[in-house]
Amino acid sequence: MKGNTLKIIIVILVIALIIGVCFLVPQIISNKDVETSQKDVENTQKEESNVEKDEQETEEKYGYVDKETMEVLFREFNVEIEENSGLGTIFDEEYTVKEGKYWYKITDGIYLVVNPVENNNSKQDVVASMSIYVEKDYKDDPQALAYTRLLIVANNEDIKYEEAQNLIDESLNLASKNLASNNGKGISVRYLEEDGNIEYQITRHYK
């Protein structure tokens, strides 16, 4: 009898242990899942906070401008040319498309290059950047710098011509570091050179 009683007790204990394990394991797993989920939420919130912080710091450092279309900026550029220089205006109907960018011939060896945020072959394309591109045989042409100054001002009327020239000068100094000049008014200017051809790239910063 004692042997049978002991066996029964052992069986009961084993069953109780199995039931306990079956109950506790899902609970442990569930708790870990909850902890993991909470950590994921916290990480996501931190990432979102960091993105917002980076965007705020970028805006504070570079400033920003309103989104504008090719049509609007083209018109602003021609207005600047007409009112503040003796240079020729540009025809917006005559262009070619290379690698998603619009190329307009200004004069021999000098081009306006418009890079849209997204190319839809439309004057309503939002502009990401605009450049004055100069072929190597014409890089000493004073018209190139004159058009660049006008283009900078056309991209932000709050920038004066002296500021535009300062941005150009600074971009030349920063070119070896592949950096752009900026004065906190939403426009960056980068000087690029390849195979003797040069480019003054004006990038627009949006929110």
The pLDDT assigned to 62 comes to 85
Contact 181, 196 (CB under 8 A): no
- pLDDT above 70 for 7: no
Give 71 or 13, the one with higher predicted confidence.
71
Confidence of residue 61 (pLDDT cuts 50, 70, 90): confident
Provide the percentage of residues in the chain whose pLDDT is more than 90. Answer: 67
- pLDDT above 60 for 51: no
If one counts every other C-beta atom within 10 angstroms of the C-beta of residue 187, the result is 29
- Strand 96-98 and strand 101-107: pairing? antiparallel
The pLDDT assigned to 22 comes to 62
- pLDDT above 70 for 26: no
pTM: 0.73
How do residues 139-169 score in pLDDT, each as one tens digit? 899 999 999 999 999 999 999 999 999 999 9
Dist CA 37 CA 144 (whole Å):
58
Give 67 or 24, the one with higher predicted confidence.
67
Average pLDDT taken over every residue of the chain: 86
- Non-local (6+) Cβ contacts of 155 within 8 A are 65, 73, 76, 130, 187, 202, 204
- pLDDT above 80 for 50: no
- pLDDT above 50 for 53: no
Confidence of residue 38 (pLDDT cuts 50, 70, 90): confident
Contact 171, 183 (CB under 8 A): no
Provide the percentage of residues in the chain whose pLDDT is more than 70. Answer: 73
Dist CA 37 CA 178 (whole Å):
42
Dist CA 199 CA 195 (whole Å):
11
